[in-house]
Amino acid sequence: LRHTERVDFRDPSWIGDTDSPYDPCITEEGHKQAARIGFKLAQTGIARVLCSPFLCAAQTAQGVAHYLEDVYAIQIETGLCEMLHPTWFPEAQLQVPGSEQTLWGPSDLLKEICTYLDDSHETLCTPVFPESIAQFRQRCRMLLEQLVKMHRGESLLLVTHASVIEEMIKALIPGATVPDLPEGSLTTLVCSTASGEGGVAVVDSACDRTEEAQVRSRKSRASFRRRRGGGRCTAGDRPRARSYA
């Protein structure tokens, strides 16, 4: 599940009025959207929810998990975080003790906002910063392999970002055409042992957002990328615009 609508996508000027420009929350509409998704998934048998450490993903996971009877905690998995390419995160650094600038907030702050979070989970894949496209792809594939191995037979909900979902689809279906992944879109990947390692039986992407909201979001993302700016990378190592967030 891609996180629901972020405040900076609706209001690009938000980035100039915050101390955490890399960790935006979701909007009121984002909270409503998460609730609708949770209601939709209530009877689907999801046994575990893991989310990116970014606030927008944690808030989305909280809103969805409220409706899942078999889920009592949300696990923070840093391997599900956005691609940490310096073009998207100029002059940023990963969270370290004493750091003045971080990409996402500490777990104790997240727990104050999202009561379902369980920070006892030991992350399966630790990202690096700055992260190249090759490193990001490797991270996504390693995480996917570990999740399949550890939770075979379970239904997992991964609340993350478009770039992560895209890479996981490509890892399972080489050469696949990745569907559009607007905020709040739910992509279903069903691994089939009958089709061999990495086989996929179903790929589906659905979203209940209106077309007007999706168009507004795409325009906001383009504006935000221009505002975020900075950083340089070679042509062969430049992230595509549609992969962001």
Q: Determine which of 100-114, 117-131, 190-204, 228-242 has the lowest per-residue pLDDT on average.
A: 228-242
Q: Among candidates 215, 162, 213, 163, which has minimal Cα distance to 28?
A: 213
Q: Cis check for the bond before 130: say yes or no (omega within 30 of 0).
A: yes
pLDDT of residue 207: 57
CA 110 and chain centroid, separation: 15
Strand order through the sheet with 48-51: 117-118, 74-76, 48-51, 156-159
Average pLDDT of the segment spanning 211-236: 38
pLDDT at 228 over 50: no
pLDDT in tens, 58-96: 999 999 999 998 888 899 999 999 999 888 887 665 554
Burial class (CB in 10 A: 0-12, 13-18, 19+), 2: buried
DSSP code at position 69: T
Query: In angstroms, what CA-CA distances link 159 with 54, 77, 78, 204, 238?
Result: 10, 10, 11, 16, 25
More confident residue, 17 or 60: 60
pLDDT of residue 190: 66
pLDDT at 206 over 90: no
Sequence-separated (6 or more) residues with CB below 8 Å from residue 67: 35, 38, 39, 41, 42
pLDDT band at 240 (very low <50, low <70, confident <90, very high): very low
Six-digit token pair at 163? 């770039």
> How far is the first Cα of the chain from the last one, in angstroms, to the nearest whole number?
12
> Which phi-psi region, left, alpha or beta, contains residue 112 (left: φ > 0; alpha: ψ -120 to 50)?
alpha
Quote the mean pLDDT of the chain: 76
pLDDT of residue 106: 66
pLDDT of residue 115: 83
pTM equals 0.78
Residues of the chain above pLDDT 90, percent? 38
